[in-house]
Amino acid sequence: MESLFRSLKSPKKIQDFLDTLKINFERKGDTHYSPLTVFKKKEAHCIEAALFAAAALWEHGRPPLLLDLRAAKGDYDHVVALY
């Protein structure tokens, strides 16, 4: 996992990795995957992917910033890592 984080040297490389993951639809209930679990399972929902991206950015000395986008009633919130 450490070597993966080291190889994700740019926001584009982080996003390219995240684009290879399956979407975690939480079919068996709520999940709260850590970056390590995201790496092992090769799937994530938005906050799990955002935390993975933030951890990768932190590995390279960048601030691990997250943005929580609150949705209107009847829609879903979304979380992203700021590159």
| Full 3-state SS string of 18-79 | HHCCEECCCCCCCCCCCHHHHHHHCEECHHHHHHHHHHHHHHCCCCCCEEEECCCCCCCCEE
Q: In this predicted structure, which of 12-16, 32-36, 72-76 has the lowest mean pLDDT?
A: 72-76
Give residue 65's pLDDT: 96
- 6 or 55, higher pLDDT: 55
Residue 1 reports pLDDT greater than 80: no
Give residue 4's pLDDT: 86
In the three-class reduction of DSSP (H, G, I as helix; E, B as strand; rest coil), residue 81 is classed as strand
Q: What is the pTM of this model?
A: 0.91
Q: How many Å apart are CA 54 and CA 2, to the nearest integer?
A: 14
pLDDT tens string 35-76: 999 999 999 999 999 999 999 999 999 999 999 999 999 888
